[in-house]
Amino acid sequence: MTELADAPVTEHERSTTRIPHWIGGARVDGTSGRSGPVYNPATGVQTGAVDLASVEEVDGAVQSACEAFVTWRETSLAKRAELFFAIRELFHARRKDLAEVLTAEHGKVLSDAMGEVARGLEVIEFACGIPTLVKGGFSEQASTGIDVYSIRQPLGVVAGITPFNFPAMVPMWMWAPAVACGNCFVLKPSEKDPSASLLTAELLKEAGLPDGVFSVVHGDKVAVDALLEHPGVAAVSFVGSTPIARYIYETGTKHGKRVQALGGAKNHMIVLPDADVEMAADAAVSAGYGSAGERCMAVSVVVAVGDVADPLVDAIKQRLPNVKVGNGLEPENEMGPLITREHRDKVASYLESGAEQGATLVTDGRETAPEGDGFFLGVSLLDNVTTEMDAYRDEIFGPVLSVVRAETYDDAVGLVNDNPYGNGVALFTRDGGAARQFQFDVQAGMVGINVPIPVPVAYYSFGGWKASLFGDTHAYGPESIHFYTRGKVVTSRWPDPATSKVDLGFPQTR
Ligand code: NAD
């Protein structure tokens, strides 16, 4: 990333599409003189050059958001709800356009990109209920002649810093509740696939969102640090890898901001001996290789308990030759490329290190990757993986599924609980009692029972435990309303002035 930041603009980049910022309701060309390359991962060809913001440009976006906040926070709940219904309709109508932008820069297959937009739309639908969501409480006659009520008010300007793997949905997790709550939102999207954020900005404007309420500043560490240090930014939401999440949390809170920082993951899918093996294999393949494994909720490790291991590994292996890998725009393909050449090579290196460290390389995706310059790797399966191996310890974030064999249920759950991450986890079983015990025992934020990718619906909140979350508020759902507002409690009385007297005692509730 620093490499990109320091690179001067080349002739080739000048011939590709320029991807500017969005500030004050319009596209604004960057003035820093720095840009980063954007690729079509399916072809390996550079298609764009994204402007990387300077500290001054970030300041300009925050100033514009601060100005917009004055009017936006006064906009009635009725008007905000009406606007969110319009936003929902427009995003729904243009969902295919948005999905195509995602496929072009991220590489995920179009059907998966449509799924991303659909899950993001659910959060916009949740935000349509904003009048109910920010409703306070009221206690009449809390003390004699005294009423007490609570209200929730927006924070001001809030920032979102988002990862490459969900360029539309993760920003929707943030801006929809933040803006509905009355805040102005500055998005710093991933510089690897930045165009979805510009289309988002254009659609929001078309739907009627006032200028300055939603802005986009592209950039790298320079822009992120400027947001973390800016006195005009009240809160920061982050989604990305664990080391950066930790940095964002520590730096943001040091500068007095409210911060929620969602980090990386290593999601386990435990298969008990009584599970339906065919169903478990279908689930492992779908959740392990969907979006080329570049999902924070992807299944990365299958924990096969007892004698289910051999039939399960066989059933997974049999399915792999049928997974169609290729350009995401071609409808027959089920899995696209990885985000960059470097990331593809890093993912592939775990096949080598896994085999060297004693795992069994059952299926080697390097042998099945489509030809050409695209950043492809075929689906890969490692068996007999142990907890000391790099393939187990690191978040691979690619189409590599590891199988760890455990003797008992207790061993399997112990493995999950000892892992530093705690994002998603799944259990496959036909035993209701075991499932209930599992949801009680397991240390993870999102649990699936015979559901391999338990991403909560929009009216619950999304978030992990341990190194998968810094801060204590999860994304979207009720916790997002809490995160993007501050509580205020009003105690009021309307006494008869004739009864007024001086009383230096501490107010008592009688
Ligand atoms: P990343 O951490 O590299 O980047 C995320 C954001 O941080 C980007 O906007 C990037 O520009 C910025 N950034 C990167 N390096 C920085 C630095 N040194 N200083 C300041 N800012 C920096 O993550 P990524 O590769 O874009 O996304 C993949 C990661 O995101 C995976 O670890 C995945 O598990 C995680 N993720 C987590 C969730 C979740 O909900 N927990 C969801 C999606 C992705």
**Tokens 């003035």 identify what position?**
31
- Strands annotated E in 100-145: 138-143
Integer Cα distance of 425 and 302 in angstroms: 10
Please name every residue paired with 148 in a beta bridge, in sequence order, or none if there are none. 139, 491
Q: Running DSSP on this structure, what letter comes out for residue 498?
A: G
- 430 CA distance to ligand 1 middle (Å): 37
Rounded Cα distance, 104 and 23, in Å? 24
Show pLDDT as tens, one digit a residue, over the chain (510 residues): 434 445 555 555 556 899 999 999 999 999 999 999 999 999 999 999 999 999 999 999 999 999 999 999 999 999 999 999 999 999 999 999 999 999 999 999 999 999 999 999 999 999 999 999 999 999 999 999 999 999 999 999 999 999 999 999 999 999 999 999 999 999 999 999 999 999 999 999 999 999 999 999 999 999 999 999 999 999 999 999 999 999 999 999 999 999 999 999 999 999 999 999 999 999 999 999 999 999 999 999 999 999 999 999 999 999 999 999 999 999 999 999 999 999 999 999 999 999 999 999 999 999 999 999 999 999 999 999 999 999 999 999 999 999 999 999 999 999 999 999 999 999 999 999 999 999 999 999 999 999 999 999 999 999 999 999 999 999 999 999 999 999 999 999 998 899 888 989 988 766
Query: pTM for this structure?
Result: 0.96
Evaluate: CB of 156 within 6 angstroms of ligand 1: no
CB neighbour list of residue 65: distance below 8 Å, 6 or more residues apart: 157, 184, 185, 186, 212, 213, 215, 232
Using the atom order of ligand 1, give the atom closest to the CA of residue 190.
Answer: 9
Closest CA to 354 of 286, 403, 285: 403
Please classify residue 149 by burial: count the beta carbons closer than 10 Å to its beta carbon, then call 0-12 exposed, 13-18 middle and 19+ buried: middle
In DSSP terms, which residues pair with 438 in a beta bridge? none
Contact 191, 30 (CB under 8 A): no
Tokens representing 270?
């435990």
Residue 296 is among the residues annotated as catalytic for this protein? yes
Q: 190 C-alpha vs ligand 1 centroid, how far in Å?
A: 8
Q: Is the CB of 240 under 6 A from ligand 1?
A: yes
pLDDT tens profile 11-35: 555 568 999 999 999 999 999 999 9
| 239 CA distance to ligand 1 middle (Å) | 6
Ligand 1 site, residue 444, Cβ cutoff 6 A? no
**Distance in angstroms (rounded) separating the CA atoms of residues 380 and 273:** 24
Are the C-beta atoms of residues 166 and 475 closer than 8 Å to each other? no
Cβ of 260 closer than 6 Å to ligand 1, yes or no, is no
CB-CB contact of 32 with 54 (8 Å) = yes
Q: What is the pLDDT of residues 440-484, one digit of tens each?
A: 999 999 999 999 999 999 999 999 999 999 999 999 999 999 999
Going 467 to 472 to 477 to 480, the CA torsion angle's sign is negative
- How many Cα atoms within 13 Å fall on the side-chain side of residue 301? 32
End-to-end CA distance of the chain: 62
Nearest C-alpha neighbor of 189 from the set 215, 211, 209: 215
Output the residue whose Cα is nearest ligand 1's atom 10.
190
Cα–Cα distance measured from residue 265 to residue 394, given in angstroms and rounded to the nearest whole number: 9
Structure token digits, residue 25: 């309701």
How far apart are the CA of 240 and the centre of ligand 1, in A? 3
Instruction: Evaluate: CB of 39 within 6 angstroms of ligand 1.
Output: no
| Shortest-distance Cα residue to atom 35 of ligand 1 | 240
